[in-house]
Structure 1
Amino acid sequence: MITQTSTTRKSVLVVDDEPDVLAIIKSSLQKSGFEVQGFTDSILALEHFQQHSTSYDIVLSDIRMPGMNGFKFARSVRAANSEIRIFLMTAFEMHKSELEKVLPSVRVDQIIQKPVSMREMVTTIEKSL
């Protein structure tokens, strides 16, 4: 007997200016069944997202990046798609409540502390869906 599985793969846009980190995250998510598009340039990522704003279920972005930081990126992504789930990653300890006090104009769904195991990241993303 063949069991039918859902053919709808969840799609994630990942932005991290460190190519090695991006490659690891992208590979881990793909192995877990996600469609993944990755960028090391936040400005190019935003241009892509604005053209494909309904193609993604989650945006996962580092906070500290050259060109456009994760906060500005998240605001711009939210402007293009108010329903998208946005996860920000940081190596600095920051809680969601702190973020909301400091930057109330940035609505994010999750703050992920680096370093994070890829298993934990995948689980966090899966639970949000």
Structure 2
Amino acid sequence: MARILVAEDDPSVRAFVVSALTMKGHEVIAEEDGGLAAETVDAEDGQFDLLLSDIKMPVMDGIALALHVGARFPELTILLMTGFADQRERAHGLDALIYDVIPKPFTLADLLAKVEDALSGKPVEVVSLARQPLQ
């Protein structure tokens, strides 16, 4: 299975994501902000299959983290997540750098499908039943 770095500042979302990915057999390392995630990816010399990061976080947001990781480890797949429409729009400027943005709130099935697609390189549209897609 894959080695995944998760950057999420909300403890309950982080625990949900880590539990879901671990349950699917992935090796998961989680950090509570982008700054710590940047330190981890640098210390591990980019040896992850996927970076799954929230966009809006203290210290270093997901956009800055994606720029840092993309510059140093361009082969690392980056998947962002956000519950804020304005943050999602910011990420669209990074189309060449990130794989996709998954909207919050998401279901377990949404998360697992998008992660598997990102790992396999097959884009799909995830529309959570919890809310309408961001425009």
1:119 aligns with 2:109: yes
Could you say which residue in structure 2 is the equivalent of 1:15? 7
Match of 1:51 in 2: 43
2:67 paired residue number: 75
Q: Which residue of structure 1 aligns with residue 132 of structure 2?
A: none
Cα distance in 2 for residues equivalent to 1:106 and 1:127: 17
Corresponding residue number in structure 2 for 1:5 = none
| Structure 2 Cα separation of the partners of residues 65 and 92 of structure 1 | 12
Deviations 1:41-77 (CA, angstroms, capped at 9, x unpaired): 2211101101213321000000000111110010001
Structure 1 ranges of 4+ moved more than 3 A: 93-100, 103-106
The question of whether the paired residues in 1 share the 8 Å contact of 2:34 and 2:57 is answered with yes
Larger Rg: 1
Which sections of structure 2, spanning at least 5 residues, go unmatched? Answer: 121-135
User: Could you state the TM-score of these two structures normalised by the residue count of structure 1?
Assistant: 0.82
Match of 1:109 in 2: 99
Cα 1:104–1:23, aligned 2, differ >3 Å: closer, same or farther?
Answer: closer
CA offset at residue 120 of structure 1?
Answer: 1.4
What is the CA RMSD across the aligned residues, in angstroms? 2.2
Amino acid corresponding to residue 9 of structure 2 in structure 1:
D
Consecutive unaligned residues in structure 1, runs of 5 or more: 1-8
Sort the Cα spacing of 1:47 and 1:32 in 2 relative to 1 into closer, same or farther, 3 A: same
- TM (norm. structure 2) is 0.79
2: distance between equivalents of 1:92 and 1:69? 13
Q: Is the 8 A contact 1:10 1:57 kept in 2?
A: yes
Q: How much identity, in percent, do the aligned residues show?
A: 31
